[in-house]
Amino acid sequence: MPVESGAEPGRVYLDYAGFAPVDPRVLAVTRPFLEAGIGNPSARHSLGAEARESLDAARVKVARLCGGAAGGIVFTSGATEANNLAIKGVVARARSGGAARVLLSAIEHISVINACRDLEKAGATVCYLPVDGEGRVDPGMLRAALTADTALVSIAAANPEIGTVQPLKEIGRVTRAAGVALHVDGVGALGRIHPQVLGGGQEGGYRSGTENVPGVVGLGVAAELMRVEGAHQEAARLAVLRDRLMQGLLETIPECRLTGSAGSRLPHHLSLVLRGVKADGVLLDLDLDGVAASSGSACASLTQTTSHVLRAIGCTPEEAEGSLCFTLGRWSTAADVEAVLDRLPPIVARLRALAAPLHT
């Protein structure tokens, strides 16, 4: 039976990549850890033992979802910290024996790019691999770029801005054959790393600091729900909704085109560029009309700069200004899709008409 989301009535939320509503069942399990007494997992009393057991159980659940060993799971505050920990940790270990070289794609998340830039200041060599027009890395090009001093390759499983999924199996075979560590943003596999946060030795020494027990327990429940309920059936449902939205918008809005791969993309993700309008204006009008969407990566949007991802796949500056991203999720419905198809085309037409005198 579907679980009620508690979403605001009348609102259409299509920004799941930015922030996803929490499943009420996750909240139900997390609430006692926030409201009742709970011990520090490092403490030796019974409350501490209960907290450690909860952490261990969550670790097992996340490992089941990721397909790895529970002992290889390191909990952090989020993806930005995890990316920094993995990248800097691996390269710090490698540089103890000399110079290090890092390869990453031109469309990595800004937390990956900035972590690599920081390493570059410290003497590491950073090389960016180009992508094709759909945002995919060529495994053959990666193989040719590997050198004896390459310490790490960083390729995200899927790009959050354009939804393209990378050929990770082929990439993994290339790096494994070369004996080079592979960091994959979004998969949760950190590999062998040098600690970046020093302290009491929590998380196997990789990430010191008292663990966020409520957050970790909630993550464990969410991982289990995703593994059991959110497999192929949910992905297929979202892909149907996404394709309906994509087809409808491409048919009703002139000078609108898809960004990223049409086939090898996340099932819940649709990204487009519109000529003749600015994304900020479109999103504002959509929001006033009850629809929440985005223009790509939530982190990158704060900088107000042209997307490096869109530049890398060949979008013109004018197209990049009109970048829109719709990401569906657990409570997205066909009615949500129809609402966007009803409201977005007239918004774009009106904004283009207002901008027309500026171009005459």
Q: Which of 256, 299, 315, 325 is catalytic?
A: 299
Site of tokens 């009420």: 24
* Backbone phi and psi for residue 181, each to the nearest 5 degrees, phi listed first: -65, 140
What is the 3 state secondary structure string of the chain?
Answer: CCCCCCCCCCCEECECCCCCCCCHHHHHHHHHHHHCCCCCCCCCCHHHHHHHHHHHHHHHHHHHHHCCCHHHCCCCCCHHHHHHHHHHHHHHHHHCCCCCEEEEECCCCHHHHHHHHHHHHCCCEEEEECCCCCCCCCHHHHHHHCCCCEEEEECCCECCCCCEECCHHHHHHHHHHHCCEEECCCCCCCCCCCCCECCCCCHHHCECCCCCHHHHHHHHHHHHHHHHHCCHHHHHHHHHHHHHHHHHHHHHCCCEEECCCCCCECCCEEEEEECCCCHHHHHHHHHHCCEECECCCHHHHCCCCCCHHHHHCCCCHHHHHCEEEEECCCCCCHHHHHHHHHHHHHHHHHHHHHHHHHHC
Strand bridging mode 256-258 / 269-274: antiparallel
Q: How many angstroms separate the CA atoms of 155 and 145, rounded?
A: 14
CA 203 to chain centroid, in Å, comes to: 23
Decide if 66 is catalytic: no
* Residues forming a β-bridge with 154: 104, 183
Contacts of 304 (CB under 8 A, 6+ apart): none
12-13 and 291-292 beta bridge pairing: parallel
Strand partners, 271: 325
- Provide the annotated active-site residues: 299
